């Protein structure tokens, strides 16, 4: 059975590639960054504005949507797309990371995990079958199986036990799927252990998931360790499968990991930092609350198509933030998402024109030189 993904262009001097990912709600050009809409919304942004910025794929989270409003209500509404008013595709994380990070009383066993809701303390249960069922009720275009999230620095024996449990859960997730039109990715785990990563990658390839996610990185290891592991996995994951690096997304990360064969990214960074006044530019991030912007009447990023840059100044955006106006978070978020959308378009253009290595060097040199401007 072929993967729902076609590579259209490949870089000759890096491992970067462009492709087309086919989902139930349309085709997605890759490499792609996916904004995070944990609870069925990208905070502060209307669906029409996301689409206007060029986004066709966003994230939701199984754990949070299961707690509020509940998948059965969403199913009754016609699915998450109709419920949220979003016409593009949706990827949902399995919720495993949230179970282990938000519930200090989670109890793990071979069958699944029992935990307490962080909302009201209610006792809940996730198994591979339950998690797939929730996502099918939501109507997720791309689903993730329940996985265990081990410490990246766990000892070898503990890491191997964890990954073997995850693989068993992934096999059960495949067996539980009843809606083949909804894609199901496997999640590769193993921390920084190359032997375990390779073994798990080969097992996932044999199971023929619709794509492969890279989990368990950007969780405490050094950046260089993450880049090294992503590069290693490029050589062991199926080249014809879409690769999704979970939870990774500084501009530097995107440029460097695309060069290592990654097709999909998600991260809360552009939306979360926007609410705290950090705006991304080609010359590095800036803190709009800084006093030096009080009388700066230029745009945050010349040429940026977002409303903040086309009609407003840095001085006005600073005023909104300092005054605590809700519009501050909205405009800042739109700007950061526009920046990320433009970055991914530049990345795809450089790959199509086979100049990715030169593009990456020039882009990163400029971004790193200007990073001190955010301080």
| Residue at 372 is within a domain | no
For residues 99 and 66, is the Cβ–Cβ distance under 8 A?
no
Q: Which residues, other chains included, contact 88 with Cβ-Cβ below 8 Å and sequence gap of 6+?
A: 25, 26, 50, 51, 55, 56, 57, 58, 81
Model confidence at 179: pLDDT above 80: yes
- Structural domain count of the chain: 2
Q: Residue 308 gets which letter from DSSP?
A: H
Residue 117 — φ and ψ, nearest 5°? -65, 135
pLDDT for 59-95, tens place per residue? 999 999 999 999 999 999 999 999 999 999 999 999 8
Q: What is the mean pLDDT of the chain?
A: 96
For residues 149 and 216, is the Cβ–Cβ distance under 8 A?
yes
For residues 259 and 16, is the Cβ–Cβ distance under 8 A?
yes
Model confidence at 36: pLDDT above 70: yes
pLDDT for 126-135, tens place per residue? 999 999 999 9
Model confidence at 373: pLDDT above 70: no
Token code pair at residue 149 = 């999230």
| Residue at 373 is within a domain | no
Residue 101: per-residue pLDDT: 79
Residue 372: per-residue pLDDT: 58
Residues 177, 303 within the same domain: no
Model confidence at 163: pLDDT above 50: yes
Residue 374: per-residue pLDDT: 42
Residues 63, 209 within the same domain: yes
**Confidence band, pLDDT 50/70/90 cuts, at residue 375:** very low
Residue 127's domain comprises: 5-267
pLDDT for 314-362, tens place per residue? 999 999 999 999 999 999 999 999 999 999 999 999 999 999 999 999 9
Mean pLDDT across 291-297: 98
| DSSP β-bridge partners for residue 33 | 265
Q: How far apart are CA 342 and CA 363, in angstroms?
A: 13
**Confidence band, pLDDT 50/70/90 cuts, at residue 277:** very high
Residue 103: per-residue pLDDT: 64
**Which residue among 249, 267, 285 closes a domain?**
267
For residues 284 and 369, is the Cβ–Cβ distance under 8 A?
yes
Round to the nearest angstrom and report the end-to-end CA distance of the chain: 51
Residues 78, 156 within the same domain: yes
**Which residue among 227, 245, 267 closes a domain?**
267
For residues 126 and 117, is the Cβ–Cβ distance under 8 A?
no
Q: How far apart are CA 96 and CA 350, in angstroms?
A: 36
Strands (E), the chain: 5-10, 17-23, 26-30, 32-34, 57-61, 89-93, 107-108, 113-116, 123-126, 142-143, 183-188, 211-214, 243-245, 264-266, 278-279, 286-287
Mean pLDDT across 116-135: 94
Which residue numbers are catalytic? 93, 266
Model confidence at 54: pLDDT above 70: yes
Higher-scoring residue by pLDDT: 282, 119? 282
């Amino acid at each position: 059975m072929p993967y729902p993904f076609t590579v259209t262009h490949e870089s000759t001097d890096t491992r970067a590639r462009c492709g087309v990912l086919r989902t139930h709600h349309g085709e997605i050009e890759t490499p792609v960054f996916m904004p995070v809409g944990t609870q069925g919304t990208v905070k502060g942004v209307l669906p029409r504005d996301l689409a206007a910025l060029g986004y066709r794929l966003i994230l939701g989270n199984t754990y949070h949507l299961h707690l509020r409003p509940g998948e059965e209500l969403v199913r009754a509404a016609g699915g998450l797309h109709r419920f949220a008013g979003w016409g593009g595709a949706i990827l949902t994380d399995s919720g495993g990371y949230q179970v282990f990070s938000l519930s200090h009383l989670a109890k793990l066993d071979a069958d699944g995990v029992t935990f307490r809701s962080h909302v009201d303390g209610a006792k809940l249960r996730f198994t591979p079958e339950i998690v797939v069922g929730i996502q099918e009720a939501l109507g997720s275009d791309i689903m993730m199986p329940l996985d265990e999230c081990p410490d990246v620095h766990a000892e070898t024996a503990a890491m191997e036990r964890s990954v073997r449990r995850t693989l068993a859960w992934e096999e059960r997730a495949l067996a539980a799927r009843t809606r083949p039109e909804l894609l199901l990715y496997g999640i590769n785990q193993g921390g920084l252990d190359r032997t375990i990563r390779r073994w798990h990658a080969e097992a996932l390839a044999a199971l023929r998931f619709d794509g492969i996610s890279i989990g368990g990185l950007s969780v405490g290891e050094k950046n260089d360790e993450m880049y090294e592991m992503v590069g290693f996995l490029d050589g062991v994951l199926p080249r014809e499968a879409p690769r999704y690096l979970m939870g990774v997304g500084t501009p530097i990360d995107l440029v460097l990991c695309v060069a290592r064969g990654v097709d999909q990214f998600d991260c809360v960074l552009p939306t979360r930092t926007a609410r705290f006044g950090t705006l991304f530019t080609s010359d590095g991030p800036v803190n709009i609350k800084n006093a030096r912007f009080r009388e700066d009447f230029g745009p945050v990023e010349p040429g940026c198509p977002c409303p903040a840059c086309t009609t407003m100044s840095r001085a006005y955006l600073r005023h909104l933030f300092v005054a605590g106006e809700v519009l501050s978070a909205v405009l800042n978020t739109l700007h950061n998402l526009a920046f990320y959308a433009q970055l991914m378009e530049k990345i795809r253009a450089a790959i199509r024109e086979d100049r990715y290595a030169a593009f990456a060097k020039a882009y990163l040199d400029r971004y790193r030189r200007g990073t001190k401007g955010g301080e």
